Chains A and B, each alone.
Chain A
């Protein structure tokens, strides 16, 4: 996609991006709907043969629904909307119908694969044939939208121009559409590959595919001739769309040439596709242009414009940009138009398949139907089927999408189309080949232009696409194997038997059937489970089920709880366990008759039979010591040593607690919380307080014997807030006074936790300790620590020791805590090294959290701390929890990550489990899985609610099993994979040198991608980087993980910070880890309206001196102010028009009475409310010292600590992959 010329591109792209973004939205919108449809469609299509009936219904419905939504989305999101809207809508209808038919097929994925293959290939080819009209249409349909969005297409063009050297095919594609663009791009690459490398290497599969498809395109391409790309691109693009996968293949370096072409192609294709999209398409094209016009979006316009210009400039581009319009024209005019496209597409098709599959799937829906059809045709043409086969899967999706197209495809299938396509690719290839093969480096060097950053997969684009395509339609969990929308997308969930993605996200929704496959692909199989996640207000929390005195009904053998996957037999008298197949009698009181389908008549009345998540009321058998639990208690431990008092922490905590105590968690908002509270202050001795309600004044009890901690009082330590309010308030008033003049600087820590533990033991309840601590505990006491900060060890093999606790004391202590259900939350206020690695052991093992406020200052950090504290105190949580993950035969939960303790290999014990805590579970095969039954997992969490009730929360998750690698790659989720990888890596540094960890990660990712390339992607030049659609962001995210402070620390990062982040990550959910590794950078331009401006990529290049940007990292918020920011902007935000008058120390924005300021503050508030930790706002002025910190989060750039830039890393990754392949 991206040609070498990054820089050159950059500028143009810069603008383009915005443009792309916008355009993309529109397209995406259209595209997505389509995609869904397509998926279904494909399935249907495939299935049609076999399962049509059943599936079809499903498929059809969904598809319809999807389609509908998409339309709306498109319209709304896109400014283009209007134009597109109509178009899309139009297309959709078309598509939908097709889709439906297709869907059915699509549903049976298994079926699909083959279909896909065939489809894919056909598609490519088909494009040629059907193609042209249909194919083109189809492709165009979706693509158009993409193209617009992508703006990328332009880049493509540019690329092509620039590209001459490099093929960034993939890049552009990615940029283009996440789905579409990529496809195109990818296709291009492919095409390129074909031309150049492909032939050789691909020969096998590719040739056919590429040949067929590409060749066909060529014809058309020729037009584009300039760069074969140009010509081809468009066509390719079309194919790409289908081939979006191709997009994946980013042409990292020269080889990319291919890609570039692809990108171009994609755009083109998209555009083309739009055209094809028939009327609708046409509009799209138009719409595409509009985006440009829309430039109205200050940001976007330029971009688009740029992009366009480039495109226009470049032969290809013009075509592309033009193409849309032109194409549209053509397409609309007649299939002929499409043909060319098809040709393009077809070539791309092959490539695209992989990426396309996904994207297309999504995209297809919109224009999809049509487009897909075309592809399908191609697919059908399926000459290459076999070859495609490999790719097939990737294509599969496409196929699926194509499914609908099939009809058309068939036509296309004629194959002729394919043939043409190849040529185009070939042409492309030559270019690409030279560069890559010749030598990547030289290529890079040669090209005055490096790889175009815009041409490589853009997270922003992917996020936007997903948002546009998936946020409008509720996500229903009933369909197995379906990846949910990205975490960045707002969507609604309908529980239909599987747990909501808010509770469980999996790395892969199609699990490989065999361990060999899993090993070959190296894709981790893991689930990120957030058992007590908060649901948005419009989703129903899990229902509570009471099975009476006998307790929840369970399988006799494996003890799995009643769930929708239990099969009732013998008229309902018994049920067969879905996990272990054991047959269990149904207890009489639970008996119910079955209907004709074998379902219980009351199936929909019982959450445990119809829902993915629900809760059982646990009986006394599930309680510790067979005794119903007491309500939990909260105990506050406040450090009152000199530093703590001086920083103002003590004062703030005491003040805040007075009001905060009214907000203790409760289940019934009407009633008082039953949580009891206790207070302790400490320095090197502990002060307990008797706050019994009958006392006039609190009483302080000092325990100086810290070597052997005990609880000095029983009655009056833990009290109800309302009973003892007066005494408590008096106490909180007096604590700051009492210690105002303290000169004690030493503190203890171990005894503090011991004291809390003893208190809970004495009260015979579970609970949570809030420890506010300031210094390294050096006072003589158990758990005493010494300062071991030694920066010289960083980077050595001994570095790992810095992350290990100093002694085993705290590990043993946490064992005891867990046994008692004592959760510890630690708030640190250090001014120097406090050894977070050791102090954090107990919180991390007990399901607690560590908060760290380095150099805490009352004025500036107060708000952040208080908000964290408030949230921490109020958040719903369970106590004394045990979590167990049961799986169906064949896989097994083998490894767990998070804040908990395990005393055996299966039970995750959590002293406390709050709504933000996540447990990541890794699965491994211990047998073969069956495609028929899929794989089941059931996560059961037994806990004590904040009102003291014993509950069992159950989450069920069913995923598909696949025997084709392509299915695996098509249904995985990169964000979740990254979440898993990072947790794995962060844990590994405890035992392994950091460098080894990093290398291992790179290697594993390379293997994943190489495996895909080898087994799933259509053949292409070795120089081409081909990424699975679902994983096209894997490199950029992985790079972010590698560059993170933990794995590659900068000089200014303290050991404590690293240890803190390491522990923090261990219980992050996917959305948090996503923003943590890839922060969100928002340009603050027009803020009117309800939507957020589209984010830009995290690179300094994207920052405009004249702008103001908001960066959210999940932990911090930065407001970056360009040196030349418009005065009006500054006035609106800061109330001063002068750059120099902005106070860089402000932590909150002035409340100005203008819409911009209001909106900005709203945005900031909404960001904060989305995160479990309050983000302090830092104002960073360009060229200011603080800018260094800010730049640290621009993770696509080279980091000061030596982290590679995205582009460099991508090249590196590509090299790794090639090594693996060779």
Chain B
């Protein structure tokens, strides 16, 4: 057998699953002692170009509360044409279509290499993709122009049959009707008045008064003429909408001196949600909100319109001075839940120099699987490319997005599900495998993931429930099945089933085996997510203490300093932004977020990763740091001088030119795949932007280390933070003291 390293890699490649432990302690007690729970990172839509979907329905276990899907781990009696469910042991006959089954004639789902398999199923009419743009018009002219162009451009990226809608807002909220010719129509709503979903639909004329008879809704078929007024196929309204976007004006209401423009973001969103709720419930849809500032009026307002009152900071929050925080958060939470229930996801593209209220609004995306993008202006490539990247396509020419996903988890008896952390909401599906201990979003076996991308990754926490006195026989395996139903971007309904199994091991006798099966990377991410989840829901310092207590043995130095847990130096919005991405990215990306990668380029050899340490900052090096959110190219002092002197232009210094280009090329490569687009920073020794680098590296040399101050071995960092060395020293001390 290959090394665990390879095993893990294989498993990840095939199933998109990485467990913290690849051997499971067989009793509850032992499992608890392991500190890091049995848990896994699961990427439901991991790209599997080599996996052709099958065009039939999965075969389900007939037990009502099981419904597990036939998989390679099932025992099959080919002669009797019976299979046994490996989760509930129910014996099920094969359906008639499987009559020809035999040892040699197996359906794909029984083959071991198809531990992950994807079915295409026919369920109702195909649902087109729906994109509803919600656009802030309280922007600077330049920003608005850029945004309008981006939106117009996006129309060409949408599939022709996708439905598209437009809501604009400022002081008022306008829902634009797209079907009419001639006069452009829009429905206008006051930005300050909260309306129920029903009211919104009535006001938009979406309810058919005659249908509300005593009989309720007799199959209430959607009247296309009605719904289509606001959501139209792109190919029909392409021109119209382009013109409409072109004519968008800045919010015309005057903004007095010393005031913020009035922005009715809350109402705009509630109308968007209400509109979709009324017209396309349980159909995948994407609300894309573009905002250039914080909501300043109506429900969901984050800050008043007085400029003299700044938007809340961590300080205000700590002091409980953020007036609107709780109310707004509650409001957006409710909206997010409504959207999530209907399978609609909400993206937030916030471009402003100041905060825009992501802290309050984060749930919208967190719960619905939407994206959050944050930038300084819509007129930056950061936004433009990020937005473009949303519509990127895979090698099949299909969008890298899926909608309306539900994830169902089944476990074998010894294992139960504690919960999940990721861009999902609970569907409150009760089942036999639900653990009493809730971790993350628990109490259910099903989660709704409104929007999925190939990198969307959830962490699932399990609990070993097998009692110590009921040992599992040698070679026993525990199994977990993930069933993900979703709406593919080509409007197909698909089900992906991943079934994995791990061996049980007795922790007392096989502790070494278990230790060796530990997946350090996965565990780091898993624990970090837990930390972030708790940070979101609890007070910051408490989480740090919890983490310190819990993870004393783990390598968590960088996590501790990361914006995910540490709010210092980051605005509430930034924290929300970072956390959002942290909880939905896959393992690799998550690791980058936790511990940024630092490459060093020099004449001394090929680029090499170096320690994220101030010691790595040398005058004759070019550093490329990738923190996921930022991409920093840092030219050392000497390099910078050379560059300034223009040596790269001289033929005899072509090698220098190559040196300069190398990190840029690498950065481009990263930029092209990364979503959201990272902030790209090209700086040099002494540049103001160098702070992005300096804030990340381990401060092994500071103004406090007198002995190293001023030496040429690196760049001292002006910080009071402890260095890794000090941290480790403390850890050791603590470890010893706690042991005693």
**Contact with A701, one of B174, B190, B193 (Cβ below 8 angstroms):** B174
Interface check A991, CB cutoff 8 A:
no
Say if the beta carbon of B605 comes within 8 Å of chain A: no
Query: With A708-B193, A714-B252 in contact, do A688 and B182 touch (Cβ < 8 Å)?
Result: no
Query: B residues within 8 A CB of A701?
Result: 174, 185-188
> Nearest-CB distance from B660 to chain A (Å)?
48
Interface residue stretch chosen among B94-102, B197-205, B732-740: B197-205
- How far apart are the CA atoms of A1057 and B205 in the complex, in Å? 35
A702, B183: Cβ atoms under 8 Å?
A: no
Is B195 located at the chain interface by the 8 A CB criterion? yes
Complex Cα gap A688–B252 (Å): 15
Q: Are B253 and A705 in contact (CB under 8 A)?
A: no
**Chain B residues, CB < 8 A from A698:** 183-184
A689–chain B nearest beta-carbon distance, Å: 8
Question: Which residues of the other chain, B, contact A737 by a CB distance below 8 angstroms?
Answer: 182
Q: How far is the CA of A696 from the CA of B244 in the complex (A)?
A: 11
The 8 Å CB contact of A715, one of B182, B184, B205, B249, is B249
**Contact call B182/A705, Cβ cutoff below 8 A:** no
**Would you give the 0/1 interface string for A695-706, flagging 1 where the beta carbon is closer than 8 Å to chain B?**
111111111110
**Is the pair A703, B252 in contact by a Cβ cutoff of 8 Å?**
no
Q: Which residue of A lies closest to B175 (CB)?
A: A702
Q: Quick one: closest A residue to B247, CB to CB?
A: A695
Shortest Cβ distance from residue A694 to the other chain B in the assembled complex, whole angstroms: 9
The answer to whether A700 touches B184, judged by C-beta atoms less than 8 angstroms apart, is yes
Q: How far is the CA of A474 from the CA of B124 in the complex (A)?
A: 91
Is the beta-carbon distance between A703 and B249 smaller than 8 angstroms?
A: no
In the bound complex, do residue B252 and residue A716 qualify as a contact, i.e. CB atoms below 8 Å apart?
yes
Q: Tell me whether B203 and A705 are in contact (CB under 8 A).
A: yes
Do residues B252 and A702 form an inter-chain contact, with CB atoms below 8 A?
Answer: no
Contact A705 B189 (CB under 8 A): yes
**Residue from the list B186, B199, B253 in contact with A702, Cβ < 8 A:** B186
Residues of B within 8 A of A713 (CB): 172, 188, 252
Contact of B184 (CB < 8 Å), options: A685, A699, A704, A714: A699
Q: Which one of B182, B183, B205, B253 lies within 8 Å of A704 (CB-CB)? A: B205
Q: Does A731 contact B (CB under 8 A)?
A: yes
**CA gap between A698 and B203 in the complex, in Å:** 22
User: What are the interface flags for A665-701 relative to B under an 8 Å C-beta threshold, 1 for contact and 0 otherwise?
Assistant: 0000000000000000000010111000001111111
* Chain B contacts for A731, CB-based, 8 A: 183
A710 within 8 A of B: yes
* A690 CA to B188 CA, complexed, in Å: 12
| A1169 CB–B CB distance under 8 Å | no
Are A714 and B253 in contact, with the CB atoms below 8 A? yes
B204 and A704 within 8 A (CB): yes
Among B199, B202, B203, B204: residue with most chain A CB under 10 A: B203
Most chain B CB inside 10 Å of its own CB: which residue of A696, A701, A715: A701
Q: Is A734 an interface residue (CB 8 A)?
A: yes
Inter-chain contacts of B199 with A (CB < 8 A): 705
When the two chains form their complex, are residues B252 and A715 in contact, meaning their CB atoms are under 8 A apart? yes
For residue B193, give the distance in angstroms from its CB to the closest CB of chain A.
6
Choose among A696, A698, A704 the residue with the greatest number of B CB atoms under 10 Å from its CB. A704
B676 → A minimal CB distance (Å): 34
How far apart sit A697 and B186, CA to CA, in the bound complex (Å)? 13
In the complex, A712 has a CB within 8 A of chain B:
yes
Nearest to B188 among chain A residues (CB) is A712
* Residue interface mask B489-504, A partner, CB < 8 A = 1: 0000000000000000
A1051 at interface, CB cutoff 8 A: no
Mask for B241-264, Cβ within 8 A of A = 1, else 0? 000000101001110000000000
A703 CB contacts on chain B under 8 angstroms: 187-189
CA distance A702 to B204 in the complex (A): 9
Q: Are A705 and B185 closer than 8 Å at their CB atoms?
A: no
B155-205 CB contacts (< 8 Å) to partner A: 172, 174, 177, 180, 182-190, 193, 195, 199, 202-205
Whether A734 contacts B187 in the complex (CB less than 8 A), given A701-B174, A712-B174, comes out as no
CA distance A429 to B190 in the complex (A): 83
Number of A-B contacts (CB under 8 A): 70
A703 to B187, alpha carbons, bound, how many Å? 6
Q: Is the CB of B185 within 8 A of A700?
A: yes
Closest Cβ neighbor of A688 among chain B residues: B188
Contact of A685 among B174, B190, B203, B252 (CB under 8 A): B203
A640 to B199, CA, bound (A): 22
* Complexed CA–CA distance, A696 and B239 (Å): 15
A683 to B172, CA, bound (A): 21
Closest A residue to B190 by CB, please name it.
A710
Chain A proximity mask over B549-585: 1 for CB below 8 Å, otherwise 0: 0000000000000000000000000000000000000
Q: A714 to B255: give the CA distance in the assembly, Å.
A: 12
**Do residues A734 and B183 form an inter-chain contact, with CB atoms below 8 A?**
yes
CB distance from B572 to the nearest CB of A (A): 32
Tell me, in angstroms, the Cα distance from A846 to B424 when the chains sit together: 58
> CA–CA, A166 to B491, complex, Å?
103
C-alpha spacing A699/B187, complex, angstroms:
11
Bound-state CA distance A848–B247 (Å) is 37
- Which residues from chain A contact B247 at a C-beta distance below 8 Å? 695-696, 699
Residues of B within 8 A of A704 (CB): 187, 189, 202-205
Closest chain-A Cβ to B716's Cβ sits at a distance in Å of 56
Q: How far is the CA of A714 from the CA of B261 in the complex (A)?
A: 14
What per-residue 1/0 map shows which CB atoms of A705-745 lie under 8 Å from chain B?
10010101111100000000000001100100110000000
CA distance A689 to B185 in the complex (A): 9
Residues of chain B within 8 A (CB-CB) of A714 are 252-254
Residues of B within 8 A of A688 (CB): 188
Complex: chain A residue closest to B250, CB-CB = A715
Q: Known contacts A697-B183, A699-B186, A704-B205: does B172 contact A712 (CB below 8 Å)?
A: yes
Interfacial chain A residues near B249, Cβ < 8 Å: 715
Min CB gap A735→B, angstroms: 9
B residues near A702, Cβ cutoff 8 Å: 177, 185-188
Closest to A698 in B: B183
A703 nearest CB neighbor, chain B only: B188
With most chain B CB atoms within 10 A of its CB, the pick from A713, A716, A730 is A713
A710 CA to B190 CA, complexed, in Å: 7
In the assembled complex, the CB of A602 is this many whole angstroms from the nearest CB of chain B, namely 48
In the complex, A687 Cα to B190 Cα: how many Å?
14
Contact A697 B182 (CB under 8 A): yes
In the complex, chain A residues whose CB is within 8 Å of the CB of B193:
705, 708
User: Shortest distance in angstroms between B265's beta carbon and chain A's nearest beta carbon?
Assistant: 17
Give Cα distance in the complex from A731 to B253, angstroms: 23
Residues of B within 8 A of A700 (CB): 183-186
- Nearest chain A CB to B201's CB is how many angstroms away? 10
Complex alpha-carbon distance, A730 and B184, angstroms: 12
Contact between A734 and B182, CB atoms less than 8 A apart: yes
Contacts of B195 in A (CB 8 A): 705
Instruction: A697 to B184: give the CA distance in the assembly, Å.
Output: 7
Q: List CB contacts (< 8 Å) of B214-262 with chain A.
A: 247, 249, 252-254
| Residues of A contacting B203 in the complex (Cβ-Cβ under 8 angstroms) | 685, 704-705
Among B183, B199, B203, B247, the one with the most A-chain Cβ atoms within 10 Å of its Cβ is B183
Residue of A nearest to B171 (CB): A714
Kindly provide the distance from the CB of B34 to the nearest chain A CB, expressed in whole angstroms: 58
Inter-chain contact A705/B190, CB cutoff 8 Å? yes
Please indicate the chain B residues that have their CB under 8 angstroms from the CB of A716 in the complex.
Answer: 252
Q: Which residues of B contact A689 (CB under 8 A)?
A: 183
B183 touching A708, Cβ below 8 Å:
no
A712 CA / B249 CA spacing, docked (Å) = 13
**Nearest Cβ on chain A to B196's Cβ, whole angstroms:** 12
In whole angstroms, what is the CA distance A737 to B183 when docked?
11
- CB of A642, distance to nearest CB on chain B (Å): 15
Q: Can you list 13 A-B contacts (CB < 8 A)?
A: A685-B205, A687-B185, A697-B183, A699-B183, A700-B184, A702-B185, A702-B187, A702-B188, A703-B189, A705-B195, A716-B252, A731-B183, A734-B182
| Beyond known contacts A699-B186, A712-B188, A714-B254: 11 more, CB 8 A cutoff | A685-B203, A700-B183, A700-B185, A701-B188, A703-B189, A704-B189, A704-B203, A704-B204, A713-B252, A716-B252, A738-B182
Q: Which residues of A contact B (CB under 8 A)?
A: 685, 687-689, 695-705, 708, 710, 712-716, 730-731, 734, 737-738
